[in-house]
A and B are shown apart, each in its own frame.
Chain A
Amino acid sequence: MKECVAMLLAGGQGSRLYALTHKLAKPAVPFGGKYRIIDFPLSNCVNSGIDTVGILTQYQPLVLNDYIGNGQPWDLDRLYGGVHVLPPYQKATRSDWYKGTANAIYQNINFIERYNPQYVLILSGDHIYKMDYDKMLDFHKETKADCTIAVLEVPMEETNRFGIMTTDKKGRITKFEEKPKKTESTLASMGVYIFTWDKLKAALEKDEADKNSENDFGKNIIPDMLATKRRLMAYPFEGYWKDVGTIDSLWEANMDLLDPNMPLDVWDPSWKIYSRTAGRPPHYIASGARVENSMITEGCTVEGELESVVLFAGAKVGRDAVVRDSIIMPGAVVEDGAQVNYAIIAEDAVIQKGAVVGARPEHMADVSKWGVAVVAEGVTIGAGAKVPPKAMVEQDVKDGDKA
């Protein structure tokens, strides 16, 4: 038996990441030089002593399945427990896609019960944060909660993007609003829940029987548990947390790694973030290169100039190329003399000689047209071509053309 089993919701398409998630699920999107988004919750699990994790997949699972493999990079290859990828499957009488987050867990009740856990930790695969779930579990036990929701303070103007909790003095949740237009509280749900398993199981079964339900944790399960006077507690989290569901937030979270105050510290040996890596030689900084305030990993070659850049494994930046405030994903190449500003260059894309991608806001006549430019996986931007800011380039751009 396991005291606590984690279920990681990784089936989301991440449609607001557009071209970046055409071929892979959001949790598999590369992040921070050598990671993928899912490395954060997975590493948190293993660092918190949780060794049994079910990963619920549905949308474009190939890359994710391959990446997770037997779970060894996260030390989750266990004789009993370990990591299991759980796609929707055919049952004797019928088969269904996962209809919602709650339904995904409902369809895997059998998986959870194999471990006979007292508690179930529900996580999502699209947040970047470091968190000790064990401390949260202690809190859940101490407060004798049926459900504990991790919360953090957000600015009042952002409350409409989150599930907002109102609590009494002791932290018991009295009200839950999903993306409210107007609210009193600024406690936002991080999408991290611990449930006492028998309570969750009952709620899931009840929810499943309700034909009108959207089978969603935020919209259905939590409001119903509140309505039925279950004990829901808010667990305050202090620290870095970011939903990387949009181009801007994905770009920002990468840039946060470069912040001198290190709000997101991946170098701390006591809380390592694990990942599956290809194992390439150390990176090479040529003479004449200039690198400042950047992150570079194995297999990269830098001959040009980098400032505030996250360079992923095997990326190359040629001579006299200038890259600023950008993230260059695995295997992407910025050729000699090209310029990249405020951009996300996805895997294996090529920015050929002298091409210009993105722009700096201070160089814009109309700042409202400014934004992060994205070049999708495998796309080639021809020599001397131009990609304007905020563009989303999914097809090759010929030499000298404008995207």
Chain B
Amino acid sequence: MRSANAMGIIFANMHDENIPELIARRTMASAPFAGRYRMIDFVLSGMSVAGMQNIGVVVRNNYQSLMDHLGNGREWDLSRKRGGLAIFPPGAQGAGNGSQGRIEALGNVIDYLSFNKEELVVMSDCDIACDLDYAALIKEHSASGADVTVVYEKAPIKDSLLEDNITYVLGQDGYVSEIRVNDYKKGMQNLSMSVYIIERELLLNVLKDAIVRGYESFEKDILARNLTILKVRGYEYTGYRARISDMRSYFDENLRLLEHENLKALFPKERQVYTKVRDEAPVRYAIGSQVTNCIVADGCIIEGEVENSVLFRGVRVGKGVKIKNCVIMQGTVIEPGAQMENVVTDKNVKVCEGVSLRGAKGFPVFVGKGQCVE
């Protein structure tokens, strides 16, 4: 495929506050998901597969794990002489106080936006794992003649999103007539997926003006204020999506992949999702192991019983262990005889012999990174 005439900007830390336990030492972008991925893999792979070869990741804090994950971008085919992956910590292109706003963040990469040659800029956050066809999005945006295309899903506003949602009111023509911030209405809404596509020159212009005026929010201060001047068009995404809006949804969305149709929908054959390769051996199922309705990543050794669970890479499940409805992250060791139900363990947790750990279905127990449960 010819390279797309669009560059990408990915915001790594947006929506961090939704999952405080998980982002204690990482970003939303590097939150582990679906057994062997990080949330950013879905965005980054989607852009790369669409032929975008110039992608900047804007990070604010806690980004060591993300840097480690991304490396030079080779795994996403973004280790390029011309373009490729670029990571922008605060102050990477001048001052920068690491504030939360998207305008501030974009202001931080204004030189990067200026010296590149692509006609369009696609911006995305990392809180939704989905199979967005960026090539189709770019094509439709270009054909429509809109100034900005915003991607939305039809969904109700969950309680967990009450303080973190943007909704669009769309006219008959598919153009946005009103943008609402943190709406509370019940029922189906055109809920923003925080994916925007805009002409690069236009973005630079509105950005410079917004910075001069001390604006912070791209949606509130640039888009919502200028709907009479800017033609903002909606693009509905109808495919599979997993939105991480709180710890509960993190748990639920991992387990929802146990429906085989969902797993297949998130990982379609035609658009591969790339991630860092860790060279783990295949999973070993010992004699006496019993596993049903699970997704299991490489490197695990399973000797016990596992049901309705997602096992990330390199998990050890000892003899006599019983696990049900759990999300077990990379490197967790569950010693013989332990029992767990409705538990999320972060990376490298150890659950000692004979321990019993139980959360409620709607309230999973979370065990933080590297902890030992005795």
Residues of A with Cβ closer than 8 Å to B? Answer: 32-34, 72-73, 258, 260, 266-267, 272-275, 277-298, 301, 306, 310-311
Contacts and interface: CB of A to CB of B under 8 A. Distances in A.
B34 A281 contact: yes
B264 to A, nearest CB: 9
Contact of A301 (B260, B273, B275, B277): B260
Interface string B276-315: 0101011111111111111111110100000000110000
Contacts of A283: 283, 295-296
Given A34-B298, A281-B35, A282-B295, A295 B287 contact: no
Interface residues of B, number: 37
B293 A285 contact: yes
B328 to A, nearest CB: 12
B277 A291 contact: no
Contact of A279 (B275, B290, B293): B275
B272 interface: yes
A290 B288 CA distance: 10
B277 A295 contact: no
Contact of B282 (A279, A284, A289, A295): A295
B36 interface: yes
Contacts of B301: 267
A285 B282 contact: no
Given A279-B272, A279-B275, A282-B298, 14 more contacts: A32-B281, A260-B287, A267-B301, A272-B279, A278-B272, A280-B267, A283-B283, A283-B295, A284-B263, A285-B291, A291-B289, A297-B282, A298-B297, A310-B282
Nearest to B288: A292
Contacts of B266: 281
Contacts of B285: 291-296, 306
Interface in B238-295: 260, 263, 266-267, 272-275, 277, 279, 281-295
B286 A273 contact: no
Contacts of B299: 267
The interface centre, meaning the residue of A34, A283, A285, A291 with most chain B CB atoms within 10 A of its CB, is A285
A274 B267 CA distance: 24
B283 A296 contact: yes
A286 B293 contact: yes
A32 B298 CA distance: 13
Given A279-B275, A281-B295, A282-B298, A34 B287 contact: no
B277 A73 contact: yes
Contacts of B273: 279, 281
Given A281-B267, A281-B273, A283-B296, A293 B36 contact: no
A298 B266 CA distance: 15
Contacts of A293: 285-287
Contacts of A298: 36, 297-298
